[in-house]
Amino acid sequence: MAYWYNVNTGQIEQDGSTESKDHLMGPYASEDEARSAIELSRKKNELADEADRAWKEG
């Protein structure tokens, strides 16, 4: 079963009971992973921003 993080409500949803996927992050293998979706996304964005800066600086 997959889990999703609903960015509109902040709730965790499971396959079969989800809203439109337009407002969902996932799928995640566990409820805990889905609960951490925003933090994981923030960390990934920071790493990508650092890589972009390093590439631009040569």
Q: Is the pLDDT of residue 38 over 70?
A: yes
Q: Is residue 22 within 8 Å of residue 34, measured between CB atoms? A: no
Q: Is the pLDDT of residue 41 over 70?
A: yes
Which of 40, 25, 41 shows the shortest CA–CA distance to 13?
A: 25
Distance CA 31, CA 18 (A): 14
> What is the pLDDT, as a whole number, of residue 49?
96
pLDDT in tens, 4-36: 999 999 999 998 776 677 889 999 999 999 999
Q: Is residue 1 within 8 Å of residue 14, measured between CB atoms? A: yes
> What is the pLDDT, as a whole number, of residue 21?
74
> What is the pLDDT, as a whole number, of residue 57?
93
Distance CA 42, CA 14 (A): 23
